[in-house]
Amino acid sequence: MAKQRPLRSDIAWSSADTIAVHGYDLARELMGHVGLGDMAFLSVCSRLPNAAESRMFNAMVVPLVEHGIVPSTLAARMTHAGAPEALQAAVAAGLLGLGSVFVGSTEGAARMLLAAFADDSATTSVEERARQIVAEHRAAKRIVPGLGHPVHKPVDPRAERLFEIAHETGFHGRYVALMRQVAVEAEQATGRALPVNATGAIGALCCEMGMPPQAAAGLGVMARAIGLVGHVLEEARQPIAMELWRRAEQEASSAVHGVLRDGS
Amino acid sequence: MAKQRPLRSDIAWSSADTIAVHGYDLARELMGHVGLGDMAFLSVCSRLPNAAESRMFNAMVVPLVEHGIVPSTLAARMTHAGAPEALQAAVAAGLLGLGSVFVGSTEGAARMLLAAFADDSATTSVEERARQIVAEHRAAKRIVPGLGHPVHKPVDPRAERLFEIAHETGFHGRYVALMRQVAVEAEQATGRALPVNATGAIGALCCEMGMPPQAAAGLGVMARAIGLVGHVLEEARQPIAMELWRRAEQEASSAVHGVLRDGS
Amino acid sequence: MAKQRPLRSDIAWSSADTIAVHGYDLARELMGHVGLGDMAFLSVCSRLPNAAESRMFNAMVVPLVEHGIVPSTLAARMTHAGAPEALQAAVAAGLLGLGSVFVGSTEGAARMLLAAFADDSATTSVEERARQIVAEHRAAKRIVPGLGHPVHKPVDPRAERLFEIAHETGFHGRYVALMRQVAVEAEQATGRALPVNATGAIGALCCEMGMPPQAAAGLGVMARAIGLVGHVLEEARQPIAMELWRRAEQEASSAVHGVLRDGS
Amino acid sequence: MAKQRPLRSDIAWSSADTIAVHGYDLARELMGHVGLGDMAFLSVCSRLPNAAESRMFNAMVVPLVEHGIVPSTLAARMTHAGAPEALQAAVAAGLLGLGSVFVGSTEGAARMLLAAFADDSATTSVEERARQIVAEHRAAKRIVPGLGHPVHKPVDPRAERLFEIAHETGFHGRYVALMRQVAVEAEQATGRALPVNATGAIGALCCEMGMPPQAAAGLGVMARAIGLVGHVLEEARQPIAMELWRRAEQEASSAVHGVLRDGS
């Protein structure tokens, strides 16, 4: 029989008159004193942010809340159509599509930038590191995470705004600089417009704030849960799922409608 | 063939240089100007809050973020143990348990209070309405939602704090008054301490802010998604799921271990 | 501190050379000897079925596997579009919509029929019980679960086939008889065609087989998981989610496209 | 505006009196004629199996149904504790942990074997291919998928049974042979007992049956959904989640209990 290892979580405890979250008294020190964004920072970093961190962090999660009608909000709305009594299930269904295609690039960008500075003793310039990143991705035929956008051209307005706020708050450091230089190198190498997009900017800023790369994915998940609640509430008062289903079913099955194997 | 009904969502749109959320320019009007809590209010109410609404709303969602080790955070941690590559799936798994047992009472309290004032022309006093609510629930042997707590006695410090902030912000109206009076009546009728708990206070405040009752459940879901990200990140660096599994498996299967139907 | 209660599960155990499921040796008694349907019966009833039970049970779950393009399969496909690396998440997203609207009526029918025979000493006839059920639902303005179908008219071919097999296997007992009589009474009371549908037949047969009503919902969930895997595999080779999203987004946001609150 | 691409699904269609699944008449050709395992084969392969395929396929999915108390069944039970009204959500929560740690190796083994035979013109022997696979994985410090088991030693009884049935049904072909030879080579290279486990055997058999590698993951997901229903039903009558939670919470929070940052 294996020896028992202790179970330990440092996040919260409560007694008859006190609830503590990461060591702060919830009722006396948090409620009425901090906003939801600071609570999110607390969840990720295990401490409250200072003023600059709070401003930067809120600007990073605010653009992740809402993306309109996208596959994840449609999954949530389809789920609500079948189980309107379980709002939590509709939101969860929406979160499940936040994988490699839409949200993964934030974490991918963060990992790429952290790896580039892993050997900290090097005197390599930002330009050289950027060239190396682009060359390696091209050699491996992999997309550089955090660059380009099908709609927002020539620049992603969210990334530009994040860089502005990063300057104001002191978070425009080497990771942001490298991410922007990677875009310059990628544009030169490919001849295409490949500006830093929102996921690239947020991934770089997660590095600046000392968060682990998995946290980068976490920001997207927590923010989108908020937006998904809004979609489920709109679906409840102004539904689209049933109509979209009817159209999709009719068109998609028309190719085989009426066909049986036995020819009857 | 049924006639097509139009699909419509008023939440967001984007063009090459602009992203709009509920009519606000995301990069110019929201990022750097509003916090995550105001974005959450925007998702629920389709407009930004004023200062009093922002203060009240943030105080309502902040205590919902984190509850420590509870079934939903354990479900998330168990999921992370099997699929560490899919943070979104672990958070979704945690959300799925936010049903009738733990979160439902917020929405239940909101529905109860809205129903009590549905006939607005009545001159019934708050005391009378509260007596009627308690009597009806006792007759139907149903628990009054929003009252009592197994740990926080004699009062729930979160509810008390919410009432304070409601006074300060002007949201201590008839719904809050009725919820508190329901507690008084329930304590008299049962002889037990049944203070308003956090879900009762938040349900009442959702009514004060003009939110639909389903939104009350939504606040819990969005806030807990934030806390669940924190638990998954802690599980990644300080795991408990595998150890808890090993203990549970060993103890739970010991009653049947070695037993086969054919007696071999 | 509360006293510890024991943890116990009787489902499975394993040692170095044996894996036992509900007391059967998995490798020697189940693999190669029983089909997946019998394993499903074993999961629900904690014992293997006899031949009649196996035939009836398989006929009950087979029609639940596949319903074509419906909201739940669209939710799964939308999830796959965002997270193609996580097939389990796409299937889970599809399951989440199996709530009150589409699957709930199976469990509802089972509960209704069990309640009707709860007072077993009564000499009430099936006709009388059916009349009472229809009268009660009409008085409460609630839909009788298990009746009617928007497409399958005048009868649901799955229900008819289930009744045939129930006759052959000896499961056409009082619950099935009552469900069918409820349809007769409902048609007389409303003047509309309200035949027993697949969920009504399956709910009644769950009662005949001695399963708890929650198991009725469980049959739908397990069967649909199988069909959802098929949809995710088809989506991978012949995708529709991205195209459906593009159409939905374009149409749904057209009403507000270009509109900003500040009038710019 | 992008041109519309057609939506097409070949899985099912229905009319007033017929429901067709992959071209078979559901009520007349499937119900009462095929078992759930054959329906599962139909979902994956878009046609019914012959007798040998049916025997082999059922033997592959039967051992995937039930694994006792494991992280995924605990996630489902924790979810049921919070949302007992939503069985589908509990099953979905359980599925979400079927990721890289527990189920991924089936798909990984299938991909590895398919890649080894991708260059079909080669006259390379099975021994040589096996050596190359083991060498490559060792060079890259990656675990060879489908080998070894912490409990089932020296052999996994499920794999042995699958190989027996593969011999009987004619599915013991080159993929199974290579998987077994990989085990031989891995044991020689490492000096440790590394028999083919159930996931390795099932992955190889998916290749033999001509299924895509993603289907290998799908088998685990569909089968476990069945077992998860059984766990939720047992949790409903013999609960363990709440007790396990209480123990975990008490132990895990004891290290920080009573500690506040401000020292109060």
How far apart are alpha carbons A25 and A44 in whole angstroms? 18
Dihedrals φ, ψ of D20, to 5°?
-115, 135
Minimum Cα–Cα distance from C246: chain A residue: A70
Minimum Cα–Cα distance from B23: chain C residue: C260
Residue B264: the pLDDT is 63
pLDDT digits (tens, 9 = 90+) for A78-91: 999 999 999 999 99
Q: What's the gap in Å between the CA of C6 and the closest CA on chain B?
A: 8
Residue A179 near residue A203 (C-beta atoms within 8 A) = yes
DSSP H/E element including A25: strand A24-25
Nearest-CB residue to C35 (from D13, D58, D222): D58
Minimum Cα–Cα distance from C68: chain A residue: A249
Contact between D158 and C67 using a beta-carbon 8 Å cutoff:
no
How far apart are alpha carbons C128 and A59 in whole angstroms? 66
DSSP H/E element including D25: strand D24-25
Report the residue count for chain B.
264
Return the structure tokens found at B230: 């924190």
Contact between D31 and C165 using a beta-carbon 8 Å cutoff:
yes
Q: Any CB–CB contact under 8 A between A239 and chain C?
A: no
pLDDT digits (tens, 9 = 90+) for C239-263: 999 999 999 999 999 999 999 998 7
Share of chain A above pLDDT 90, in %: 90
The alpha carbon dihedral of B115, B117, B123, B124 has a sign of: positive
Nearest-CB residue to C252 (from A69, A80, A97): A69
List CB contacts of D234: < 8 A, sequence separation 6 or more. C9, C10, C11
How far apart are alpha carbons B86 and C90 in whole angstroms? 12
CB-neighbour burial class of residue D250 (10 A; exposed 0-12, middle 13-18, buried 19+): middle
Residue B83 near residue C88 (C-beta atoms within 8 A) = yes
Report the residue count for chain C.
264
Q: What's the gap in Å between the CA of D79 and the closest CA on chain A?
A: 11
Q: How many CB atoms lie within 10 A of CB D135?
A: 12
Strand boundaries in chain B, DSSP class E: 12-14, 19-21, 24-25
Q: Which residue has the higher pLDDT, A45 or B121?
A: A45
Residue B42 near residue B21 (C-beta atoms within 8 A) = yes
How far apart are alpha carbons B164 and B167 in whole angstroms? 5
Per-residue confidence in pLDDT tens, chain C, 264 aa: 567 899 999 999 999 999 999 999 999 999 999 999 999 999 999 999 999 999 999 999 999 999 999 999 999 999 999 999 999 999 999 999 999 888 889 999 999 999 999 876 667 899 999 999 999 999 999 999 999 988 888 899 999 999 999 999 999 999 999 999 999 999 999 999 999 999 999 999 999 999 999 999 999 999 999 999 999 999 999 999 999 999 999 999 999 999 999 876
Residue A46: the pLDDT is 97
CB-neighbour burial class of residue B237 (10 A; exposed 0-12, middle 13-18, buried 19+): exposed
pLDDT digits (tens, 9 = 90+) for C205-217: 999 999 999 999 9
Residue that has been written with the tokens 């900003």 in this structure: C260
Q: What's the gap in Å between the CA of B87 and the closest CA on chain D?
A: 10
Residue D150: the pLDDT is 85
Minimum Cα–Cα distance from B243: chain A residue: A5
Residue A13 has what DSSP assignment? E
Dihedrals φ, ψ of A68, to 5°?
70, -150
ipTM computed for the complex? 0.96
Residue D152: the pLDDT is 86
State the best of C54, C87, C244, C254 to mutate against chain D, taking most chain D CBs within 10 Å.
Answer: C87
Residue A150: the pLDDT is 86
What stretches in chain B show pLDDT beneath 50?
A: none
Residue A2: the pLDDT is 60
Nearest-CA neighbor of A182 among A120, A121, A136? A136
What average pLDDT does range D166-188 have in this prediction? 97
Nearest-CA neighbor of C204 among C110, C129, C140, C121? C110
Share of chain D above pLDDT 70, in %: 98
What average pLDDT does range D150-172 have in this prediction? 94
Residue D39 near residue C63 (C-beta atoms within 8 A) = no
3-state secondary structure D57-106: HHHHHHHHCCCCCCHHHHHHHHHHHHCCCCHHHHHHHHHHCCCCCCCHHH
Residue that has been written with the tokens 């116990």 in this structure: C8
> Is the pTM for the entire model greater than 0.95?
yes
Residues 171-190 in A contacting C (C-alpha not used; CB under 8 Å): none
Chain C residues within 8 A of B92 when measuring between CB atoms: 89, 92
Return the structure tokens found at B16: 């090459």
Chain A residues within 8 A of D20 when measuring between CB atoms: 256, 259-260
Q: How many CB atoms lie within 10 A of CB C242?
A: 16
List CB contacts of D241: < 8 A, sequence separation 6 or more. B71, D74, D77, D78, D80, D81, D235
Q: Any CB–CB contact under 8 A between A258 and chain D?
A: yes
How far apart are alpha carbons B156 and B190 in whole angstroms? 19
Q: What's the gap in Å between the CA of C199 and the closest CA on chain D?
A: 14
Grade residue A121 by pLDDT with cuts at 50, 70 and 90.
Answer: low
Minimum Cα–Cα distance from B104: chain A residue: A86
Grade residue A94 by pLDDT with cuts at 50, 70 and 90.
Answer: very high
Q: What's the gap in Å between the CA of A73 and the closest CA on chain C?
A: 9
Q: What's the gap in Å between the CA of C146 and the closest CA on chain A?
A: 16
Contact between D75 and B79 using a beta-carbon 8 Å cutoff:
yes
Nearest-CB residue to A253 (from D9, D255, D256): D9
Contact between C225 and D225 using a beta-carbon 8 Å cutoff:
yes
In this structure, the dihedral spanned by the alpha carbons of residues D91, D92, D96 and D98, taken in order and rounded to 10 degrees, is: 50
Residues 40-79 in C contacting A (C-alpha not used; CB under 8 Å): 68-72, 74-76, 78-79
Q: Any CB–CB contact under 8 A between C241 and chain A?
A: yes
Chain C residues within 8 A of D229 when measuring between CB atoms: 40, 43-44, 215, 218-219, 221-222
pLDDT digits (tens, 9 = 90+) for D218-259: 999 999 999 999 999 999 999 999 999 999 999 999 999 999
pLDDT digits (tens, 9 = 90+) for D100-122: 888 889 999 999 999 999 876 66
Average pLDDT score, chain A: 95
